[in-house]
Amino acid sequence: MITKNIALNIKTCLSGLSFSFDELILETKNLFETEGIPGFLKVIISFFIDNMVIEHWKASDEASCCPSPHLNRSGKRSKAIVCSLGNIDFEWTLLKCRNCNQTHNPLKEFFGLEKNQKHSNEFEKICMEAVASESFRRSTMTIKKHNEKVDFNHRSLHRWFMRTESDAITAKYSDLEVVLGDGTGYKKFVSQTKLERENKIKEKTGQKPIERTKRGEVKILMGIKEDKTIVPLGAWTSESWKTVGKMIHKLNNPNKKVAPKKLANVLVADGEIALNNGLGILAHRRQRCLWHIPHELKPLMKYQEKAAEEDIKYSLNQVHSIFQIDIPDKDFGDVSIEEKLEMNEKIKACELQMKLLSEYLEHKGYDKASTYVSNARSSLFTYLRYWMKTGVVTPKVTSKLERLMREIGRRIKKSAFNWSEKGCAKMTRIILKIITDPKSWESFWDQKFKLSGNIKLSFEGIS
Ligand SMILES: [Zn+2]
């Protein structure tokens, strides 16, 4: 361990040995209010760390620009960085190789700063957590309120958000019990000037003008592991469910020669056909979200088929029977064969009831509702059959996702703001990570901070 006492030069101008205790307090306050902690950090970096790194580079073979580097000091440059302590301006020394003329920036490499990096990683974390819960403008105000020395605007914040890598999610798993999928709408930004420009070209070449809808959909996927912990799998705005399914399948099955593995045992989702077809590749079985069935059937009959009120009432009554079968509230090992057989009978009776309902609806001329019920029938009780086979309880509704969807909706559905496809997907992924998997969110940043425990600072006496 290297312990080094740095003599911090604090200029004390004394005009005679007579000043009051209160004066000293107010003067100290004045120094720290004007210069503050950023001033302290600036001194530490510019006069201590920079020098230490430069000396190390000159003495060792850190530079690999040419076979025999010969380094000379080549002036200083100033650098501005926004961090949680405030906006810091410091100086770093450049070295030039006399042999090959290449310029080196040792302190930049030592700190691992990226090209044009204008803010610290620890500050980026604060920023991303802020924008996950409120708008860019509001986040800017909140952060500034808590960190008085920090100065930046919401446009910078948006730029940092669009460049952050903290939204990355890898959907690589082999131990998932359940995969849950759902989509929600948002107002998409459509550049009118770009659209007009494109349509002008189309007009000239005799093509039909294109229309761009403002309706976007963000697709969200998460998994539940054997130990019931939740993992985020991703969020997309530009890709179809089919593309999403293929992408994740490929990620988990990189080798084509090995028999493909499924990501999860059960897929739980609502009745959206594109979703079910697109994600079918990811799971062995499918469970229709039971909550969605009456909630989708009612508007379908009412608005699309203009069904009579009493027919809707009758159908919903019939559908209600799907909620009547429950997993017994005891250990799987204590469930007798008789109980399982009884449950099997109940399932079959309920499926028959749905078949009869589908036929009734068809007879009444409600073709869409009839198809809806008949499609749902085969995947209503997957969770029960899976439990009877394995003893593992999997969800019969997507409610775990819906809470998350509400949280995401709160942030992306604000009418005043139009999201770009990229921005909306990024924001959704960040919220998804923070809510469902806070541990891996923290560990992403820990890796980024590269904390070594190698530097400790403390106040000592005056030398
Ligand atoms: Zn060189």
- What integer pLDDT is reported at residue 65 of this predicted model? 87
- What integer pLDDT is reported at residue 328 of this predicted model? 83
Q: What is the Cα 268 distance to its own chain's centre? A: 21
Q: How far is the CA of 118 from the centre of ligand 1 (A)?
A: 28
The CA distance from 27 to 322, in Å, is 75
Q: How far is the CA of 362 from the centre of ligand 1 (A)?
A: 83
For the chain, how many helices (H) and strands (E)? 18, 8
The CA distance from 350 to 257, in Å, is 42
Q: How far is the CA of 52 from the centre of ligand 1 (A)?
A: 21
What are the DSSP calls for 323-335, one per residue? GS----SS-GGG-
Q: How far is the CA of 71 from the centre of ligand 1 (A)?
A: 8
Q: How far is the CA of 78 from the centre of ligand 1 (A)?
A: 24
Q: How far is the CA of 102 from the centre of ligand 1 (A)?
A: 6
Q: How far is the CA of 115 from the centre of ligand 1 (A)?
A: 21
Q: How far is the CA of 388 from the centre of ligand 1 (A)?
A: 71
CA distances from 436 to 27, 41, 139, 408 (A): 49, 36, 22, 12
- What integer pLDDT is reported at residue 354 of this predicted model? 93
Q: How far is the CA of 60 from the centre of ligand 1 (A)?
A: 13
Q: How far is the CA of 117 from the centre of ligand 1 (A)?
A: 25
Domain boundaries, the chain: 22-163, 176-445
Q: How far is the CA of 103 from the centre of ligand 1 (A)?
A: 8
The residues near 384 (Cβ < 8 Å, ≥ 6 apart) are 325, 327, 343, 347
Q: How far is the CA of 96 from the centre of ligand 1 (A)?
A: 8
Q: How far is the CA of 63 from the centre of ligand 1 (A)?
A: 7
Q: How far is the CA of 97 from the centre of ligand 1 (A)?
A: 5
The CA distance from 370 to 363, in Å, is 9
> What Rg do the C-alpha atoms of the chain give, in angstroms?
31
Contact 424, 218 (CB under 8 A): yes
Task: Give pLDDT tens digits along the chain (463 positions).
Answer: 556 666 666 666 666 667 778 887 888 888 887 788 888 888 888 888 898 889 988 888 788 888 888 899 999 999 999 999 889 988 899 999 999 999 999 999 989 898 889 999 999 999 999 999 899 999 999 999 988 889 999 999 999 999 999 999 988 888 899 999 998 888 888 878 888 888 888 888 888 887 777 888 999 999 999 888 889 999 999 999 999 999 999 999 988 888 888 999 999 988 888 898 999 999 999 999 898 899 999 999 999 999 899 999 999 999 998 888 888 888 888 888 888 899 999 999 999 999 999 999 999 999 999 999 998 888 899 989 888 888 888 888 888 788 888 888 888 887 566 889 999 999 999 999 999 999 999 999 999 988 877 778 777 766 5
Structure tokens at 266: 């059960």
- What integer pLDDT is reported at residue 300 of this predicted model? 92
Q: How far is the CA of 48 from the centre of ligand 1 (A)?
A: 25
Q: 119 — phi, psi (to 5°)?
A: -145, 155
Q: How far is the CA of 73 from the centre of ligand 1 (A)?
A: 13
At position 454, the amino acid (one-letter code) is: N
The CA distance from 259 to 47, in Å, is 61
Structure tokens at 360: 């009734």
Q: How far is the CA of 67 from the centre of ligand 1 (A)?
A: 7
Contact 251, 171 (CB under 8 A): yes
Q: Work out the number of other CB atoms within 10 angstroms of the CB of residue 69.
A: 19
Q: Work out the number of other CB atoms within 10 angstroms of the CB of residue 328.
A: 13
Structure tokens at 122: 């620890």
Q: Which of 109, 115, 119, 112 is nearest to 53 (CA)?
A: 109
The CA distance from 241 to 224, in Å, is 19
At position 111, the amino acid (one-letter code) is: F
